[in-house]
Amino acid sequence: MKRTVFLRGGSSLALAIALTAGAAHAQTRPDTTPTEVEEVVVTGSFIRGTPEDAALPVDVIGAEELQKRGSPSTVELLKALSVSSGVLGDTNQFDSRAQGSEGSGSVNLRGLGSQRTLVLLNGRRLAINPFGAAGAGIVDTNIIPAAAIGRLEVLKDGAAATYGSDAIAGVVNFITKKNFSGLEVGADYRVIDGSDGDYGLNATFGKVWDNGNFLVSAGWQHRSKLSVAERSWANTPYLNNPEAGWSAAGSPSVFIPLASSTNALRDPACAGLGGYPGFSGLTPVCYWHYTPFDNLVEKSDGVQVYAEINADLSDKTKFHVEVLYAHTDVPEWNTSPSYAALAVPTAEVAPSAGLAGRYYVPPTNPGLQAFIAANPTVTLNSLVTGAQSTVPSSVFAFGALNVANRPFGIGGNPAFGYGPSIGSRSFDAFRVSGDLKGEFDNGIGWEMALTYSQEVGIRTGYDTLVNRYALALQGLGGPTCDSNPSLPGIQGTAAVGGCMYFNPFASAIPGNPITGAANPGYNSALAVNKDLAKWFFQKLSTKQSSRLFVGEAVLNGKTGISLAGGDVAWAAGVQYRRSYFKADY
C-alpha cells in the first residue's frame, strides 16, 4: 500500500519595518567611542544589520559556551535550554508524539509542541521527520552535525509573521562555524550506570583564503542501550503506580469456559510469575509489567557529514553552498513481547458460526488438557455479579474462550529467546542549500536561496496475525501445516504432520526473564514451538519519506529615517515552499 501527500505553500510575501535598535536600548546613550563589531544576522529578523543585542528574545550560545559545556551532543544541548520542554531523543516509544521514530530527536519550546518549534540550519529549513507524529512537522535534530556548530540561537517568542505557523513557539537556529581554519579532532566517552556508556568521534577541517573559506565536518556517535529494568524508579509495584506500564491484557491470561459463559478464570499462575491478580470491571485479570522489557535509551549509531563553501564573487556579491548527509541506525528496538490484538479473527477460521471472532481453545488443546489434570477444582468469577465460585475443572471439558490476552507477556517471546520483541529503526537524511547575497549600488541588500532537504525512515517491528493465532489455538498452526497452500483455508489436521497447537496457559512459560523467577508449573513438552511463534508473529515494515523544497528571496535596506530608538529599516521577502510525504506499507 502506498500513500502520497503533497503540501504546497503558495508564494508568500512578507514585509517588515523595524528599528535597528530596540526601544528598550534607546533610553540611555552612553558617550563611548564606537568600536567595529562583526555584523551578524539575528534569528527572527530579515533586516540586515540587526544588532545582536536588539530587543528580540534571542538566546545565543556561542562556541566558548559550548566548549565550557563539554561540547554536548545535540540532545544534551537542547535538554539544557531553559525554555525547552519535553525534548525527545533518548527513547520515544513511551511518547505518542514520536512513537516509531526512536533514534531521532526533537525540540519543544515553551511546551507548545515540537511541531510548533521551527528548527533551522544556518537560517534555512530542514525536512521533517517522516515518522514523528505521523509527519506532523517535527524536525529530526539528531541529524544536525554537532561538531560543525559554532553557535546556537534560540528565539523564545513566536515568529509566525517571519517564518510561518510552524514557528509559533519559537525558533532554534543551528549556525555552523565561520572562518574556521585548521583541523580539530574530538572524542568523548560518557559513563552511564547500567549501560555500556555513550561515546563518539568527530573531526572538523577548515581552510580560509583571501576571498572565501571551506569547512567539512564529520561525526559518529554510539549510544548503548539502557534497559528500564536498570532503574528502580521505573519498576514500581502495581499498587504503587498502576499506570506505570502495567497491562490487564497479557499472558498468563483469562479464560471463559464454554459450559459456563458468564464466568471467567484468571490463570492461577499469575502471582507466582510476578503478575498482580486484579480485576478490570468484573473480569478477573492478571496485571503484568511490560515496560521492563523496553529500554529507556535505545542502542543506536549516528553519522553526520557536513560541508560548506563560502566565496566572495565580487565586492558586493557572496556565494554560499552547504551539503549535509546523516544516517541513524537503531538495530535493536526492544518492546513488549507482544501487543494486545486490536482485531479479532474472521469467521473463516472459526470452527462454528457461534465462535466467529473469538479465540477458541478446543478441549483437544494439550495445554487445556494439562490444566484440567493439574487443577481438580478452579475458582471462577461471575461476569454478572462478581461473585466467586469453586467448581470442578471439568467445566472446561467443552473448551474455553481466551480473553483479555496477548500471545506473549510476562514470560517473554519464544521467537526472541523469551525476551522482548525486537524491531529496528533507520533514518537517512540529505540536504543541500545554496544562496547568493549582495548589495545594489543604492545600498539595498538582496538575497536569493534554494534549499532541498529529505529524510527517509524505515521502521520494522512484529505483530500478531490474528487468524493464524486463532488457528494455532486449534492445533492448525505452523509453517508446514497447510497441505495445499493454493486453496483458501487450512487443509491440515490438528496436531498431525506439521500442524501444531499453541498452549495459552502458564504451563508454556519457563519463568519470568525480568525477575529471574522460575515457573514451577512449567512443562517443556507444552512449551510454544519457536517456529510456530514466528509463523503467526510476523515482521512488518514501513518506509516513509519526507521531502522539502524551498525557494526564497529577500530585499532589505534603510529608509533614511532616524528616530530616538535608531534608524528605521525594512525588509521584504517572497518564499515558495513545497512539502512531499510518502508512505509505503
Q: Can you give the pLDDT at residue 36? A: 41
Beta-carbon contacts of residue 30 (< 8 Å; ≥ 6 apart): none
* Per-residue pLDDT tens digits for 162-191: 777 788 888 889 999 999 999 999 999 989
Task: Give the containing element (helix H, strand E) for 77.
Answer: helix 74-79
Judge whether 350 and 356 are in contact, CB under 8 Å.
yes
Amino acid at 38: E
Distance, in Å, from the CA atom of 382 to the CA atom of 260, rounded to the nearest integer, reads: 10
Q: What cell was used for 519?
A: 515457573
Q: Looking at residue 19, what is its pLDDT?
A: 43
Domain boundary assignment for the chain:
2-227+296-335+422-462, 252-287+338-407+465-542
* Sheet containing 170-176: order of strands: 58-61, 149-155, 170-176, 117-121, 124-125
- Tens of pLDDT, residue by residue over 395-447, are 999 999 999 889 999 999 999 999 999 999 999 999 999 999 999 988 899 99
Q: For position 566, what pLDDT does the model report?
A: 78
Q: What is the mean pLDDT of each run of 10 residues along the chain (585 residues)?
A: 48 45 40 45 58 63 74 72 67 63 80 82 92 68 90 81 78 92 93 92 95 96 92 90 91 96 96 95 95 91 97 94 97 93 89 93 98 96 96 96 92 96 95 96 93 95 94 94 67 87 97 94 96 96 95 91 84 92 86
What is the rounded CA–CA span in Å between residue 108 and residue 170?
9
Q: Give 187-196's long-range contacts (Cβ < 8 A, gap of 24+).
A: 188/70, 188/71, 192/224, 192/226, 193/230, 194/226, 194/227, 194/230, 194/231, 195/224, 195/225, 195/226, 195/230, 195/297, 196/224, 196/225
Give the three-class secondary structure for 159. Answer: coil
With b for 16 or more beta-carbon neighbours within 10 A and e for fewer, the 330-352 pattern comes to: beebbbbbbbebeeebeeebbee
Q: What is the 3-state secondary structure (H, E, C) of 26-65?
A: CCCCCCCCCCCCCCCCCCCCCCCCCCCCCCCCEEEECHHH
Paired with 130 in beta bridges are none
Give kind and range of the element (H or E) at residue 533: helix 530-536
CB within 8 A of 103, min separation 6: which ones? 142, 298, 300, 302, 328, 329, 330, 425, 426, 427
Q: pTM of the predicted model, to two decimals?
A: 0.84
Cα 310 to the center of its chain, rounded Å: 35
Residues 6+ apart with CB under 8 A from 300: 102, 103, 222, 223, 328, 329, 330
What's residue 48's pLDDT?
60
Q: What are phi and psi of 337, to 5 degrees?
A: -50, -35
Phi first, then psi: give them for residue 569, nearest 5 degrees. -120, 165
**CATH of 2-227+296-335+422-462 among 3.40.50.12160, 3.40.830.10, 2.170.130.10, 2.40.37.10:** 2.170.130.10
How much is the pLDDT for 11? 42
Quote the Cα angle for 541-545-551, to 5°.
Answer: 180
Confidence at residue 482, expressed as pLDDT on a 0 to 100 scale: 77
So what's the pLDDT on residue 29? 45
